[in-house]
C-alpha cells in the first residue's frame, strides 16, 4: 500500500501555500492553482481502490488546511448513488456475517476487518456530506473534510493491523448498512446529521470500550491501542454531527431534542441498540435530556 495509510506516517502537507485571495476564488480559472473543493471530494468519493481513496482523503484534508481548494457551489457535477469500493469484500446481509469472537486469531482478524470496513465506509460518508450538501457554510465542509482525513487514517491503521494478522481488507464478507443509511438520508442534511454521526457513529462510541476490553483479555493490546486512538477521534466526529444538527435545527426553527427523536422514530422505528456509553456520548455533545430519553428507551426495550 502507499505510505498514506500507514501508522506513524501522516499525510504529507503540500509545500505550496495558497493565499486567501486564491482561496476565495480570485484565481478560479486557474485549475492548476486552486481545485474546486467539490471536484476533489467527488474524486475521493468515487475512487474504488482503498489505497488511492486513503491518499485522496488525506490530500483533500491537507489541501483544505493549506487553502488550496475553492468553494465553487455552482459547478455542475454528476450525482453519486454508489460510492467507490473495491470488488472485495463481498457485501452480504448483516445476519450472514461471521461471528467475531476474539478468542482465536481468525476471530480477531474478522473483527479488525469489520471495523476497517466501517472506517472505509466512513471515508465515503464524510466525502458524501461535503459533496452532497453544497449549500452549507464553509465550516461544515471543514469539519467533514477533517473527518474524512481521520477516517482514512483509521482505515490505514486497521488495514496495517489486518496485514500483521495475515489478512487484508476484502478477505471477509462485510455488510452495507452504513452506505444504506447514506442513501436513505441523502435528501436532507438534518436527517444525515441525526442518523449518521448521532446514531451510527455514536453506536461506535457505545461498543468500542467493550471490544477493547475483550481484545486486551485475549492479549491483543496492539489492536486495542489502535481502538483507543480511533475512539478519541470518533467522539469528535459525533460532536461535529451534534453541532451541525443543532445549528440546522436553529435555522429551521426546530426544537433539536424533539426533532432528533422524531427522526429516530422515522428512520429506526424505535429500534435503538443498547447499552449506551453515556460518558462518551456526553463528551460528544448529547444533552442530559437526550441521554435520559435514550436510556429510558433502552430500559423499556
Ligand atoms: Fe473512524
Ligand atoms: Fe467517524
How many Å lie between the centroid of ligand 1 and the Cα of residue 208? 11
Determine the average pLDDT of the residues in 268-283: 94
Rounded mean pLDDT of 235-257?
98
Over range 205-228, report the average pLDDT.
96
Ligand nearest to the CA of 129: 2
DSSP state of 91: B
Comparing 66-80, 83-97, 146-160, the range with the smallest average pLDDT is 83-97
Return d(Cα 295, Cα 197) in angstroms, integer. 18
Distance 20 CA to ligand 1 centre (A): 31
Q: 280 CA to middle of ligand 2, Å? A: 13
In the reported structure, the alpha carbon of residue 29 is separated from the centroid of ligand 2 by a whole-number distance in angstroms of 34
Domain boundaries defined on the chain? 7-74+106-300
- C-alpha of residue 128 to centroid of ligand 1, in Å: 15
151 CA to centre of ligand 1 in angstroms: 4
Question: Which pLDDT does position 99 carry in this prediction?
Answer: 67
Q: Is the pLDDT of residue 32 over 90?
A: no
CA-nearest of 63, 60, 64, 57 to 84 is: 57
Average pLDDT (21-39) is: 59
Which residues are close to ligand 1, an ion, with C-beta < 5 A? 119, 122, 151, 154
Q: How far is Cα 31 from Cα 185, in angstroms, rounded to an integer?
A: 32
C-alpha cell at 64: 483544505
Q: What is the mean pLDDT of residues 108-127?
A: 97
pLDDT band at 271 (very low <50, low <70, confident <90, very high): confident
Min mean pLDDT across 42-46, 101-105, 279-283 is at 101-105
Q: Measured in angstroms, how far is the CA atom of residue 108 from the centroid of ligand 2?
A: 21
Chain centroid to CA 174: how far? 17
Report the candidate in 45, 70, 69 with the shortest Cα–Cα distance to residue 56.
Answer: 45
Distance from the alpha carbon of residue 197 to the mean position of ligand 2, in angstroms: 7
- pLDDT for 26 equals 36
102 versus 242: the higher-pLDDT residue is: 242
Contacts of 251 (CB under 8 A, 6+ apart): none
82-100 burial code (b ≥16 CB/10 A, e <16)? ebbbeeebeeeeeeeebeb
**Ligand that comes closest to the CA of residue 144:** 2
Ligand 2 centroid distance, CA of 151 (Å): 6
For residue 167, how far is its CA from the centre of ligand 2 (angstroms)?
A: 23
What average pLDDT does the chain have?
Answer: 89
Q: So what's the pLDDT on residue 130?
A: 98
Model confidence at 229, pLDDT cuts 50, 70, 90, reads: very high
Ligand 1 mean position, distance from CA 141 (Å): 17
Q: Which ligand is nearest to the CA of 227?
A: 1
Distance (angstroms) between ligand 1 centre and the Cα of 234 equals: 6
Q: Which ligand is nearest to the CA of 201?
A: 2
Cell of 130: 461535503
- Quote the cell numbers at residue 278: 453515556
Amino acid at each position: 500500500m502507499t505510505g498514506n495509510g500507514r501508522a506513524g506516517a501522516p499525510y504529507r502537507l503540500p509545500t505550496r501555500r495558497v493565499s486567501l485571495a486564491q482561496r476565495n476564488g480570485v484565481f478560479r480559472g486557474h485549475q492548476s492553482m486552486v481545485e474546486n473543493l467539490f471536484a476533489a471530494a467527488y474524486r475521493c468519493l468515487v475512487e474504488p481502490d482503498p489505497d488511492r481513496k486513503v491518499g485522496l482523503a488525506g490530500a483533500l484534508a491537507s489541501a483544505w488546511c493549506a487553502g488550496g481548494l475553492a468553494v465553487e457551489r455552482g459547478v455542475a457535477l454528476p450525482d453519486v448513488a454508489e460510492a467507490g469500493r473495491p470488488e472485495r469484500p463481498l457485501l452480504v446481509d448483516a445476519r450472514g456475517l461471521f461471528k467475531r469472537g476474539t478468542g482465536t486469531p481468525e476471530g480477531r482478524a474478522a473483527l479488525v476487518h469489520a471495523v476497517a470496513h466501517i472506517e472505509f465506509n466512513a471515508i465515503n460518508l464524510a466525502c458524501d456530506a461535503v459533496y452532497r450538501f453544497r449549500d452549507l457554510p464553509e465550516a461544515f465542509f471543514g469539519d467533514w473534510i477533517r473527518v474524512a482525513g481521520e477516517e482514512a487514517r483509521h482505515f490505514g491503521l486497521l488495514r496495517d493491523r489486518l496485514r500483521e494478522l495475515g489478512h487484508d481488507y476484502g478477505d471477509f464478507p462485510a455488510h452495507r448498512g452504513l452506505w444504506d443509511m447514506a442513501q436513505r438520508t441523502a435528501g436532507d442534511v438534518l436527517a444525515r446529521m441525526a442518523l449518521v454521526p448521532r446514531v451510527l457513529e455514536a453506536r461506535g462510541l457505545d461498543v468500542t470500550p467493550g471490544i477493547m476490553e475483550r481484545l486486551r483479555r485475549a492479549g491483543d493490546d496492539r489492536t486495542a491501542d489502535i481502538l483507543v486512538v480511533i475512539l478519541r477521534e470518533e467522539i469528535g466526529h459525533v460532536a461535529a454531527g451534534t453541532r451541525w444538527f443543532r445549528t440546522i435545527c436553529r435555522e429551521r426553527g426546530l426544537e433539536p431534542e424533539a426533532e432528533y427523536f422524531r427522526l429516530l422514530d422515522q428512520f429506526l422505528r424505535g429500534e435503538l441498540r443498547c447499552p449506551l456509553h453515556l460518558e462518551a456520548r456526553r463528551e460528544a455533545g448529547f444533552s442530559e435530556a437526550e441521554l435520559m430519553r435514550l436510556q429510558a428507551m433502552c430500559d423499556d426495550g
